[in-house]
């Protein structure tokens, strides 16, 4: 199955949590999830079930895995690959999975405040607007390394959404990255540490899902 191209707000509603897939809109009262929560309960998309069903252990594992996958905008094949890579390394497998996801070029472009969402960042990368160490890199899944320099091509620095996002989010860049706002350039200082990783996911459930 290809990448999901439907309304992204449905994904947040399905997982019952904010995945911040629409950038600034997710922080306003226009958020579809918040509007439906105001009704007093979580309402997933689709036709309501005719009767209440018991949530199984498998369902809990699946939903957590789906939430992580959708948060970063990766395919099932990519998600499984990161699990396999993490399971071969020493350390906490769940944290290593998140570290790989954070090191993706599209995520780094988003973290550097060059784009309002990971989906927008993925488009910047895929359309050839991003340079890594001076070379055009149009692969969103490219894994950055400490010392890598990520910057926008000179012709791409006047894109309105880029300038607008930089003005709003330049102070949100994580400490494992360094932003040179004036030159539209960022540097990877080191690998993301546990304190730099999202705390909203129960990664042990994700690990258990793939280890079965």
Which residue ranges make up each domain of the chain?
1-53, 104-188
Read off the pTM: 0.79
Tens of pLDDT, residues 19-32 = 656 556 545 555 55
Question: Domain 104-188 adopts which CATH fold?
Answer: 3.10.290
Secondary-structure class of domain 1-53 per CATH: mainly alpha
**Stretch (H or E) spanning 162:** helix 160-169
- Best CA proximity match to 59, nearest among 120, 14, 124, 13: 14
How many CB atoms sit inside 10 A of residue 198's CB? 13
Tens of pLDDT, residues 143-202 = 999 999 999 999 999 999 999 999 999 999 999 999 999 999 999 999 999 999 999 899
Q: Give the C-alpha separation, 38 to 34, whole Å.
A: 6
- Best CA proximity match to 203, nearest among 111, 89, 79, 73: 79
């Amino acid at each position: 199955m290809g990448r999901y191209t439907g309304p992204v707000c449905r994904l947040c509603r399905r997982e019952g949590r904010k995945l911040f897939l629409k950038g600034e809109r997710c922080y306003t009262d226009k958020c579809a999830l918040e509007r439906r929560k105001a009704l007093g309960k979580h309402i997933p998309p689709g036709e309501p079930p005719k009767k209440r069903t018991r949530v199984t252990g498998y369902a809990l594992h699946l939903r957590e895995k789906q939430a992580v996958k959708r948060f970063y905008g990766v395919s099932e094949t990519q998600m499984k690959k990161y699990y396999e890579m993490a399971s071969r390394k020493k350390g906490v497998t769940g944290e290593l999975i998140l570290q790989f996801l954070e090191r993706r070029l599209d995520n780094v472009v988003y973290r550097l405040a060059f784009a309002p969402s990971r989906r927008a960042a993925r488009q910047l990368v895929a359309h050839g607007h991003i340079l890594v160490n001076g070379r055009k890199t149009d692969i969103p899944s490219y894994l950055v390394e400490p010392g890598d320099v990520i910057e926008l091509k000179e012709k791409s620095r006047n894109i309105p959404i880029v300038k607008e996002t930089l003005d709003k989010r330049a102070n949100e860049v994580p400490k494992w990255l360094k932003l040179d706002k004036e030159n539209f350039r960022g540097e990877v200082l080191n690998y993301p540490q546990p304190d730099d990783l999202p705390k909203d996911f129960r990664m042990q459930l994700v690990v258990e899902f793939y280890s079965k």
